[in-house]
Structure 1
């Protein structure tokens, strides 16, 4: 278990072009090259081939790549939530991660914890679950391994499905909020998508000022579900207000506010 000393990575994931190129990498080099040659004009083959080649992951297993991406996104997510995350953790490359991971590939090594920058007593921990379906026994094992850490929040990253009874048991076993993500949800940091507007979480004071300025109550604001991908990324609870800034040719330039419910 690491607490930002030996450390982890976050996640920035493959876009559609990268994933296509990665699948091409599974075929012999000659086949991949032939596919490129047959789909583009001869004049631009060198440039296109070079671009695609830079996207192909030839250095290791798919599993290690998935874990690297998910871990890096998790670190970025904690940073965006206001937790302390050293830049050195975010800067670790895939080859560096693979060198560290291959030395002793155990999921326990991927677990890490940190505290809120503004409140050191607010501690969060990220745990990667095994590839098998998560059952009540797994949840209890995680609880026994974390109950002495005085956590305020827990993030579980699943590699398989979670049984319904195990999901229900989380609320009974843990006295604090537990966020659950599938590893596939963290292969890409959704907040970095070019079409995603900027989201800023308002403080209690900023929310009060906003409601007073427009003479409304929070229930009158446009709404965002607590299960929304952005709300889950930032770990937002009901009643939280988010400032959403749109700035693109498609949406135009404007600001709106949404309340989580």
Structure 2
């Protein structure tokens, strides 16, 4: 069969155009900020904070139109309140790519204190010095630190991840009473576990984990955060 050069050339050109349409030609930093901020918004919503769906559903193109190809990290700040108790306030703050030193933390401390936060989340891209960490530890509210690379993907959206649900104090007491055990006898879940960090679990809380897959079938396990 004779080769149709014109046809093959047209096909290759069409195929190349199709592939190019799947390539993100924008700045990679804006893409990283976009993904990390979206995961942070999803995380806040899953924790029960007030987060508009329009913010979560923002496309990468819309994000770049709003924040540019090289976003100013201050413009990415998220302020929110707990839906069940609006007096409880939280702020998510992105810190720049430079090494985070104690002076950087002191520069934003006054502002954070004036907000009367219950907790704050810092999303960092670089190393934090030991002195900067010490200055964070003495703040009168809880500060969680996430590396931006850890928020590029939402860990809870993996299809094999089981459902996690925190027990109320009464549910915890009923569970311990039912099995005649204390919380130290429950299997442990590290406070540094990815799921613990995502949901903001605290030491002593008990998590109900529901597994449901073709391999394991549906079953429930309990873990005490430690």
Matches within 5 A, 1:128-207: 128-172=94-138, 174-207=139-172
Tell me what 1:127 maps to. 93
Matches within 5 A, 1:38-117: 55-58=22-25, 60-102=26-68, 105-117=71-83
| Displacement after TM superposition at 1:53 (Å) | 6.1
Q: Which contiguous aligned blocks of 4+ residues in structure 1 show a shift greater than 4 angstroms?
A: 52-55
Provide, for residues 18-57 of structure 1, a one-character-per-residue CA deviation record: whole Å limited to 9, x for no partner: xxxxxxxxxxxxxxxxxxx9xxxxxxxx7xx96x767532
Provide, for residues 191-231 of structure 1, a one-character-per-residue CA deviation record: whole Å limited to 9, x for no partner: 00112111111121221221122221111111001111110
State the TM-score, normalizing by the size of structure 1. Answer: 0.77
| Displacement after TM superposition at 1:165 (Å) | 2.0
| Displacement after TM superposition at 1:162 (Å) | 1.0
| Distance in structure 2 (CA, Å) of the matches to 1:125 and 1:78 | 10
| Distance in structure 1 (CA, Å) of the matches to 2:109 and 2:180 | 45
Q: How many residues align?
A: 212
Residues 1:215 and 1:161: Cα distance change in structure 2 (over 3 Å): same
Stretches of structure 2 lacking an aligned partner (at least 5 in a row): 1-11
| Displacement after TM superposition at 1:87 (Å) | 1.0
**Deviates most, 178-187 or 203-212:** 203-212
State the TM-score, normalizing by the size of structure 2. Answer: 0.88
Which of residues 195, 198, 210 in structure 2 aligns to 1:245?
210
Which of 1 and 2 has greater Rg?
A: 2
| Displacement after TM superposition at 1:102 (Å) | 1.4
Residues 1:140 and 1:244: Cα distance change in structure 2 (over 3 Å): same
| Distance in structure 1 (CA, Å) of the matches to 2:93 and 2:217 | 40
Larger relative contact order (CA 8 Å, sep ≥ 6): 1
Q: What SS is found at the alignment partner of 2:80?
A: strand
Give the CA RMSD over aligned residues: 1.9
Would you say the 8 A contact 2:30–2:71 is kept in 1?
no
Tell me what 1:29 maps to. none
